[in-house]
Amino acid sequence: MLAQLSCTVLSRKELLDHIFKLTLSSSHISRKAKPGNFVHLKVNSDAPLLRRPFSIHSVDRARNRFEILLKVVGKGSAVLSQKSPGETLDLLGPIGNSFSLPPRGREVILVAGGMGIAPLWFLLTRLAGRFSPEDMTVFMGAKSKTELLYADKLKGTQAKLIVATDDGSAGRKGLITEVFLKEIKKRGRDLKKLAVCSCGPHKMLKSMSEIAKSLDLWCQISLETHMACGVGACWGCVVKGNDGTYKRVCVDGPVFDAREVVLE
């Protein structure tokens, strides 16, 4: 499944300040990738030496292509964000486990914080045929309106959309985890009927994990730890499990049951 490939950049689009979408050619990734998998991209031939991990955001099997969303936070992502159509990228992928499809009959809730929409969008497209729009809700959070991704695109999916920003400049005011918690408690529905999938910054996923543990929710989270080799050899990306053992985010994850990990 895992392959080392050279793929061509087909397009590069700036979605927001410092946030880019790259479309890359690869029949292997477009055929094999599942929501939650990521690719490990070589930045340059020299520095930075280590590859950088990015979630697979969407695939187009018919056209042998896939997309990643990329936020510029440092040197690696800055270099990758400037790759132009026609340039090639060396990648390893698809890597990691994937989101388990929620059991039928559940109400599906996706909780995305900022760039966390990257793998969740791919998941949403896979769930669309299995669950009716009334049974799918997306919670999308961002620091402010200017950092809010995909609100319009999500409106077009028919899934229910709840937006929150930390400063209240779009949607409800507050952290997306607080809004999510308030909302599921308000409904008074049997929480066992929910299937929650989430991705976002570490702090947000720590809150999701605490909520999942306290309410015993079916909840999967996709973690984004610092990563070195990306193939399970170096143990540089571990997360502690409830049982005290360590799991590698790259190959045992990046998707974990939120009730089974201890996030610091």
Ligand X SMILES: Cc1cc2nc3c(=O)[nH]c(=O)nc-3n(C[C@H](O)[C@H](O)[C@H](O)COP(=O)(O)OP(=O)(O)OC[C@H]3O[C@@H](n4cnc5c(N)ncnc54)[C@H](O)[C@@H]3O)c2cc1C
Residues that bind ligand X (CB under 6 A): 38, 48, 52-55, 68-71, 73-77, 115, 118, 224-227, 254
H runs (alpha helix) in the chain: 27-32, 75-81, 117-127, 151-155, 176-187, 202-215
Q: Which amino acid is at 64?
A: N
- Nearest to ligand X of 224, 252 (CB atom): 224
Question: In angstroms, how far is the first alpha carbon of the chain from the final one?
Answer: 32
CB of 73 to ligand X, least distance (A): 4
- What residue is closest to ligand X based on CB? 74
- For CA atoms 228, 229, 235, 238, the dihedral sign is positive
Q: How far is the CB of 136 from ligand X (least distance, A)?
A: 21
236 contact partners, CB below 8 Å, separation of at least 6: 226, 227, 228, 229
Length of the chain (residues): 264
Closest distance to ligand X from the beta carbon of 179 (Å): 23
> Considering beta carbons, is residue 98 or 137 the nearer one to ligand X?
98
Residue in 129, 102, 128, 124 with CA at minimum distance from that of residue 111: 124
Give 248 or 259: the residue with its C-beta nearer to ligand X.
248
* Whole-angstrom distance, CA of residue 170 vs CA of residue 145: 5
Nearest approach in angstroms of CB 129 to ligand X is 24
- Choose between 184 and 223: whose C-beta lies nearer to ligand X: 223
Name the pairing type of β-strands 255-257 and 65-71. unpaired
In whole angstroms, the minimum distance from the beta carbon of 245 to ligand X comes to 20
- Kindly state the smallest distance separating residue 225's Cβ from ligand X, in Å: 5
Q: Which is nearer to ligand X, 139 or 256 (CB)?
A: 256
Q: How far is CA 134 from CA 100, 120, 128, 137, 257, in A?
A: 20, 18, 11, 8, 25
Contact (Cβ atoms closer than 8 angstroms) between residue 57 and residue 73: no
Q: Which is nearer to ligand X, 77 or 177 (CB)?
A: 77
Least distance (Å) between residue 155 CB and ligand X: 22
In terms of CB distance, is 215 or 234 closer to ligand X?
234
Ramachandran class of 200: left when φ > 0, alpha when ψ lies in -120 to 50, beta otherwise? left
